[in-house]
Amino acid sequence: TDLPRSPPAAAEPRHASPAAPRRLREKLRTAARMAGPPAHTAPGSRQQVQGGEGRAEPATGAPPARETRAPFRFDYQRFRRSLRHPVRGRRPSEDPETRARRMKIKEMMKFAWDNYKQYALGKNELRPLTKNGHIGNMFGGLRGATVIDALDTLYIMELEEEFQEAKKWVEKSFDLNVNGEASLFEVNIRYIGGLLATYYLTGEEVFKSKALELGEKLLPAFNTPTGIPRGVINLGRQDTRSLFSPCSGMSWSWGWASAGSSILAEFGTLHLEFLHLSELSGNPVFAEKASTSQLGVMNIRKVLNRVEKPQGLYPNFLSPVTGNWVQHHVSIGGLGDSFYEYLIKSWLMSDKKDSEAKKMYDDALEAIEKHLIKKSAGGLTYIAEWRGGILDHKMGHLACFSGGMIALGAEHAGEERKQHHMDLAAEITNTCHESYARSDTKLGPEAFRFDAGSEAMATRLSERYYILRPEVVESYMYMWRLTHDPKYRQWGWEVVKALEKHCRVEAGFSGIRDVYTTTPTHDNMQQSFFLAETLKYLYLLFCEDDVLSLDDWVFNTEAHPLPVNHTNFKA
């Protein structure tokens, strides 16, 4: 039997849930041990690989020549004029109840920020019970994760004074000269995504320059034989004197990842941000192959299109050395999730020109429908996990983003597929709502199952916790925008009330250890993504559709809005 496991005290990676079945976690550790001797943890034992080892060399063997180009300037004012809607909307008349609910969510954001500022400013997260800050080991010495994650939410909610406080911290205290091991994925979605979004919203140069400087520090992770990046990058030990020469940084695979593999949800969740880094810098190194090296996110697709997909599905672990799958575990939740999200969003962000991304998404969704989507005896539609052909009938909270994703894709499908996919999106979102409705707190567990007579409930003690995750309300927001069915706003308001009742404490918001008790224990962690995602999606649920309109913006997997490329903005 599973013993109760406390939710993690550290900032929580979107995909690497500690509530994964223990058998799987033990297999991951065993595979890592077999692959090589462990060093120290980051978060598990790791395999140490010099960034230059196995690097693809220029075909001639000679160092690539440094390219000289005219200085590039992004025309911000032209970009703003290209937007089809004002960023914060036009504020038509609205019913008082909707406005009151939106104002309540704004108050929650101010409360979360004010307490972070008072007790933890500059640390990565607030510990609201002990009233202090937490740093963690995911960000390689970077600080202020909550600041960067909160910036665009503060701006959209018109919390002007709080936004200026956050901006001042970035200007005066945000130090990129750090030396430590960072998650490529987490730094990209939280820091790069947050800085890019805030630049596009405000035009303030400090956010752009910090994003570009940090983006350069991530490039050595791509120095592998295949160009598939490793999961861990040392932000300090590198040489970026020329973005057109191989960098000498160090990168590793996570020790718990099977046999030194890279993870689908990590290397598949770089595309949106890296294309914008190229857009703002004029430097193609982020998006395309740079000179004769294999840096760049476009190369990732080439590797994925080359490798055979079992039943058309994408397993979660891929070797960055051979470009082959390491094992056949498929999940739309943890380890896989945002790869699929970024395919449809890459197409939308390209103004529907990136046909390769659209085809990859359509083919993947077809395989998911065929092999993973099931209906329970009670009539609930869910997405199972696939382990070498054997289905595991569970769905993680992380997988609940998929209702919104499928609805977003359905908007742009042919007429016959559109209705089918909208129905599917509504069914999955309903199942995720049931996981909330069937708990005593009206908040959902980390994972819920459809076996042994149980439906949409956690059956293991280790899966009962809720850490302020956003995926369910994310789907409510998309479903509201695309259908205007009032139930999605009602469901969102139920979440607001549950957060207020069970997660709000004296000095912030905290996750809880068991959603099935009305007197839950708190985990003493206000996750940065609560401010970036959960509160932003709830706020947008009660806004008019032209606030961060889906015509103009796509949200990265940390809910940071990035603009659709309507045109070329080189000055």
| Residues involved in catalysis | 186, 337, 446, 471
State the first-to-last Cα distance of the chain, in angstroms, to the nearest integer: 63
DSSP string over 479-534: HHHHH--HHHHHHHHHHHHHIIIIIEETTEE--BS-TT-SSPPB-S-B-HHIIIII
Can you say whether the dihedral through the CA atoms of 426, 427, 430, 435 is positive or negative? negative
Q: Is 269 annotated as a binding residue?
A: no
Residue that has been written with the tokens 């909610």 in this structure: 157
Crossing angle of the two packed helices 145-156 and 193-202, in degrees rounded to 10: 30
Residues 6+ apart with CB under 8 A from 421: 365, 406, 407, 409, 410, 413
Is there a contact between 128 and 509 (Cβ–Cβ < 8 Å)? yes
Please give the Cα distance from 383 to 395 (Å, whole number). 6
Environment class of residue 198 by beta-carbon count within 10 Å: exposed (0-12), middle (13-18) or buried (19+)?
buried
Displacement of CA 310 from its chain's centroid (Å): 25
Please give the Cα distance from 109 to 536 (Å, whole number). 9
Please give the Cα distance from 478 to 495 (Å, whole number). 16
Residue that has been written with the tokens 């750090």 in this structure: 178
Residues 6+ apart with CB under 8 A from 359: none
Is there a contact between 112 and 508 (Cβ–Cβ < 8 Å)? yes
Q: Up-side HSE of residue 86: CA atoms within 13 Å toward CB?
A: 7
Cβ of 105: how many Cβ atoms within 10 Å?
A: 24
Cβ of 496: how many Cβ atoms within 10 Å?
A: 18
Residue 134, CA distances (Å) to 181, 502, 522 in order: 17, 22, 16
Residues 6+ apart with CB under 8 A from 568: none
H-run or E-run covering 562: strand 561-563
Peptide bond into 96 cis (omega under 30): no
3-state secondary structure of 185: helix
Q: Up-side HSE of residue 506: CA atoms within 13 Å toward CB?
A: 5
Please give the Cα distance from 399 to 382 (Å, whole number). 9
Please give the Cα distance from 349 to 347 (Å, whole number). 6
Annotated binding site: 557
Annotated binding site for Ca(2+): 557
